Chain A
Amino acid sequence: MEKMPKWADVVLIPVISLLLAAVISAIVILLIGENPMEALNLMVNGALGSTYGWGYTLYYATNFLFTGLAVAVAAHAGLFNIGGEGQAMIGGLGLALVCLYIPFPHWSIALLVAAVGAGIFGAAWAAIPAYLQAKRGSHIVITTIMFNFIAAAVLNYMLVSVLKPKGAMDPATAKFPESTQLPSLHEILAPIGIEFSKSAPANVTLFVGIAACIVVWGLIWHTPLGHEIRALGKSERGAVYAGISPVRTVMITMLISGALCGLMATNNVMGEAERLVLNATEGAGFIGIAVALMGRNHPFGVFLAAILFGFLYQGGAELALWTNIPSELIVVIQALVILFTGALDNMVRMPIEKIFLAFRKENA
């Protein structure tokens, strides 16, 4: 017998966790001498009060869509991909190489090929930890953490010693050619009569992200491969019994996960910066963890959570601009969300289960 209805698990618990995180954040804001209500007001206005704000919110959300989906796909196979950051960095490298060295006639083709490049590089970076997990039983959490650092060193080396244009000061690639510039939401929405802010970075990759949600949803719940991924995540021995190769499934899952992280580069590197810089990922790989936890590893949940975190990031930036609250507040909120929806899940869940059980007994 189920302990509580599905909606409680899918909606009620994440919402309560989020509220808990919000309450504690409010207390933190109070403690550093600011007004939480004012802060919230500023955040809402800054992130959602204008198309400019929305443009940033959606831009961040697009990043988190990719990394959130990546963590979610891996989680279905029972794998905790904490290496999204590194995979996204290396994805950015792949994308930069494509954009810099292949001439494109049109942005759409550029996007397609660059996405493939970014995806392959991201997947490749996930492949080694995946192989070590599948074949040699090395814990994927540890290896992906290590690969984040190795990725940072690789990227650092590539930017400082290889890709930096002669005479340039910052460790970054040259600006990508004009033909690779992606249309922003302003350009997309203008023909249908919607006036969207010109200076906001949200761009066409938002739709790539939404498409990725739909593809992941179909993959996980409507294909034999998805069945295999979920079966492996629940029981490895069960998978072997059913003729599902754990090695193959772990590899495929992590390649998909790494590719999704790599795809993030189409937004932050190609869509926004239009060149590859150090720390282009800005921690989005880690936010994917919070997004996936919050979204209960379901693409629709991930979509909502990504928007939420996009809002937090843009709102947080506004806060830092107008108040004495540094943007690190968002990192705290992110930590609290991970803590409550992930690690302290039982703390929220157990009392609610009890309430439902008591309620049911009364009705019975």
Chain B
Amino acid sequence: MDFLTLIQVLDSTVRMATPLLLACLAGLFSERAGIFDIGLEGKMLMAAFFSAAVAAVTGNVWLGLLAGIGASMLLSGLHGLASITFRGNQLISGVALNFLASGLTVLIAESWFRQGGRTPSLLTEGRFNGIELPFAIGPSEAEAAGRPLSELIGEANVIQQIWSELISGHSILVYVAALMVPLTWWVLFRTRFGLRLRAVGENPAAVDTAGVSVRGLRFAAIGIAGVLCGIAGAYLATGLQAGFVKEMTSGRGYIALAALIFAKWRPWHALGACLLFGLLQAVALRFQSIQLGGVSIPVQVMDALPYVLTVVILAGFVGKAIPPRAGGQPYVKER
């Protein structure tokens, strides 16, 4: 494997990691506030569909993004209604939302577009396209030189290769996702809202008796989760790919959940975990099998590795993952 291939795999890692990271941070807000969220998958799927559908119809990707966020927020609201207002089982609510999204997206797609549960393919203006950073070699340079972009990058020096292939050329949502990491950290640990949010996930009674609404905080948290899942879904359908296809999240919500546990509910670690899992996906995408010291590792190992790693972490063999203490329990005032 030469250096350029490596850079290309890493570039693909960044793309694959972006939806994971956004969903993972969504889960982080939700679970830090004490609401388990296994509905990440469903929210992303719903957002992916509505962003692609609206972008396809209006030709405006920003409207698509808004629609995606709105759809995801709607599911968040339902999750809140079930698990906060009516104190239902958060896990069951999450499962229900995943099915709801899985069924509704195809149902509506069929009704609107009649293309076998997909949206029409998005043209350039319906997508989030790559942003070329200054000094990077991009499509415009390729056009000017009249040669393929890959050739130009292949000839460039190492730093230029890293800059042009790995750092530059991603859609705006990738950079947004990257910025979300420090922002999440700052909100959680440097603001009043963050303090209260973390408190409500550890001991909601403490927050309640301090005169702060547990319900309000938890709804705010899952609202943020809705926004982030919305962006993640929109990125899938309008950034990573050009349109919605049935079940296009293909388990990313669960991988994000795995990454969240892997990261032990911490923002910077979430970045690391998502990059790792993104790398596994990128490798699986590029190579059918990997030769490692004479042993051929089947591609299915790459598919399964994020889950296996998470189980190992959960088992506490590599440091114990302690979730927020009040996670999963509806808050009932004590008599």
A324 touches B111 (CB 8 A): yes
Identify which of residues 87-139 in chain B touch chain A, using a CB-to-CB cut-off of 8 Å.
Answer: 87-93, 95-100, 102-104, 106-108, 110-111, 114, 117
Chain B CB within 8 A of A363 CB: no
Contacts A326-B107, A344-B81 given; does A339 touch B96 at CB 8 Å: yes
Contacts A326-B117, A342-B89, A342-B93 given; does A334 touch B103 at CB 8 Å: yes
Chain A residues, CB < 8 A from B308: 146, 150
Chain B residues, CB < 8 A from A146: 254, 258, 307-308, 310-311, 314
A206 to B98, CA, bound (A): 29
A145 to B307, CA, bound (A): 9
A293 to B82, CA, bound (A): 15
A335 touches B108 (CB 8 A): no
- Which of B100, B251, B301 has the largest count of A CB atoms less than 10 A from its CB? B100
Chain B CB within 8 A of A308 CB: no
Minimum Cβ distance to chain B for residue A73 (Å): 17
Q: How large is the interface on A (under 10, 10 to 19, 20 to 34, 35 or more residues)?
A: 35 or more
Q: How large is the interface on B (under 10, 10 to 19, 20 to 34, 35 or more residues)?
A: 35 or more
B316 touches A136 (CB 8 A): yes
A32 to B261, CA, bound (A): 39
Minimum Cβ distance to chain B for residue A311 (Å): 17
Q: Of B90, B110, B303, which one neighbours A324 at CB under 8 angstroms?
A: B110
Contacts A146-B307, A153-B300, A154-B300 given; does A136 touch B110 at CB 8 Å: no
Q: Of A32, A80, A132, which one neighbours B315 at CB under 8 angstroms?
A: A132
Minimum Cβ distance to chain A for residue B314 (Å): 4
A153 to B306, CA, bound (A): 12
Chain A residues, CB < 8 A from B102: 328, 331, 335
B258 touches A338 (CB 8 A): no
Residue of A nearest to B308 (CB): A150
Chain A residues, CB < 8 A from B78: 339
Chain A residues, CB < 8 A from B106: 326, 328, 331
Contact with B along A316-339 (1 / 0, CB 8 A): 000000001110111111111011
Identify which of residues 39-96 in chain B touch chain A, using a CB-to-CB cut-off of 8 Å.
Answer: 78, 81-83, 86-93, 95-96
Q: Of B38, B82, B90, B300, which one neighbours A145 at CB under 8 angstroms?
A: B38
Identify which of residues 296-327 in chain A touch chain B, using a CB-to-CB cut-off of 8 Å.
Answer: 324-326
B99 touches A338 (CB 8 A): yes
A161 touches B316 (CB 8 A): no
Contacts A138-B314, A286-B95, A344-B88 given; does A149 touch B303 at CB 8 Å: yes
Chain A CB within 8 A of B17 CB: no
Contacts A32-B108, A324-B110 given; does A330 touch B103 at CB 8 Å: yes
Contact with B along A16-55 (1 / 0, CB 8 A): 0000000000001001110000000000000000000000
A147 touches B89 (CB 8 A): no
Contacts A32-B111, A343-B89, A344-B88 given; does A335 touch B82 at CB 8 Å: no
Q: Of A325, A326, A338, which one neighbours B96 at CB under 8 angstroms?
A: A338
Chain A residues, CB < 8 A from B38: 141, 145
Chain B residues, CB < 8 A from A99: none
Chain A CB within 8 A of B304 CB: yes
B103 touches A138 (CB 8 A): no
Identify which of residues 300-328 in chain B touch chain A, using a CB-to-CB cut-off of 8 Å.
Answer: 300-301, 303-304, 307-308, 310-311, 314-316, 323
Q: Point out residues on B near A: beta carbons under 8 Å.
A: 38, 78, 81-83, 86-93, 95-100, 102-104, 106-108, 110-111, 114, 117, 251, 254, 257-258, 261, 298, 300-301, 303-304, 307-308, 310-311, 314-316, 323
Q: Point out residues on A near B: beta carbons under 8 Å.
A: 28, 31-33, 80, 82, 128, 132, 136-139, 141-143, 145-147, 149-150, 152-154, 156-157, 160-161, 286, 289, 293, 324-326, 328-336, 338-339, 342-347, 350
Sort A-B residue pairs by CB-CB distance and give the 4 closest, nearest first. A331-B103, A343-B93, A335-B99, A332-B103
29 residue pairs A–B, Cβ–Cβ below 8 Å? A31-B111, A80-B91, A132-B315, A138-B315, A138-B316, A139-B323, A142-B257, A146-B254, A146-B314, A150-B307, A153-B301, A157-B300, A161-B298, A286-B95, A286-B99, A289-B92, A325-B107, A326-B106, A326-B107, A331-B99, A335-B96, A336-B100, A339-B78, A339-B82, A339-B93, A342-B93, A343-B88, A347-B86, A350-B86
